[in-house]
Amino acid sequence: MPRPKFNPTEEQRTLVKAFSAYGIPQEQIARRLGIRSTKTLRKHFRKELAEGISDATFNVSRTLYKMATSGKHIVATLFWMKCRGGWRERSALELSSLAPPPFIVAKEQGDK
């Protein structure tokens, strides 16, 4: 006898979106809903799984941006610049390699 067809409710859709936003693995979300397979979860909740992840990323990014641009959270500013601005820390060894070369080519006064 085949299993009954799964029909998701709005409450389940809301729950899946929230769990996805919080980073709960799909296996655990499926288990919470009583679904045996993550394949079934993805089949019926693809939109909620994707939106949960993107909504969470948006909210955290917005908060980090506000902190970084407020001038009150230096660490957030540095983190933002390292991740998004291409900044990186350099060791003393790297900085010494940035010194000018031992010779400098210069134009003499008499040359034109």
Give per-residue pLDDT as tens, 79-99: 989 988 888 887 766 666 666
- Which amino acid would we find at residue 15? L
Task: Please state the domain extents for the chain.
Answer: 10-96
Q: Give the pLDDT band of residue 26 (cuts 50, 70, 90).
A: very high
Give pLDDT, residue 109: 75
Q: Give the pLDDT band of residue 39 (cuts 50, 70, 90).
A: very high
Question: pTM of this prediction?
Answer: 0.67
- Which amino acid would we find at residue 98? L
pLDDT over threshold 90, residue 67 = yes
Rounded CA separation 49/52 (Å)? 5
CB atoms within 10 A of CB 61: 13
Q: Give the pLDDT band of residue 17 (cuts 50, 70, 90).
A: very high
DSSP string, the chain: -PPPPP---HHHHHHHHHHHHTT--HHHHHHHHT-S-HHHHHHHHHHHHHHHHHHHHHHHHHHHHHHHHHSS-HHHHHHHHHHHS------HHHHHTTSPPS------TT--
